[in-house]
Amino acid sequence: MAHTFIIVLVIATSISGLLWCIMVAQRIVSKNKEQIMQKPVNNVITISQKLQSWTKSIASIFPVLFLVFMVRAFGYEPFQIPSGSMMPTLLAGDFILVQKYAYGLKNPITQHTLIQTGHPHRGDVVVFKYPKDTSQDYIKRVIGLPGDLVSYDLLSKKLSIQPDFMNVKNCKRLLKVTYFPFNMDDQKFINSNKDELNHNVNHKYIQEVEPEGDHPVTRIEMFDSVKHLILLLNGEQKDFELRGYNGIVHQKISWLVPENMYFMMGDNRDNSSDSRYWGFVPEKNLVGKAAAIWMSFDKKEGKFPTGLRLERIGIIH
Catalytic residues: 85, 140
Radius of gyration of the chain (CA): 26
The three-state secondary structure class of 98 is strand
Task: State how far the Cα of 260 lies from the Cα of 253, in Å rounded to an integer.
Answer: 21
Closest among 105, 113, 53 to 74, alpha carbons compared: 105
Closest among 110, 143, 107 to 126, alpha carbons compared: 143
Task: State how far the Cα of 100 lies from the Cα of 288, in Å rounded to an integer.
Answer: 4
Task: State how far the Cα of 235 lies from the Cα of 219, in Å rounded to an integer.
Answer: 8
Sign of CA dihedral 117, 121, 126, 130: positive
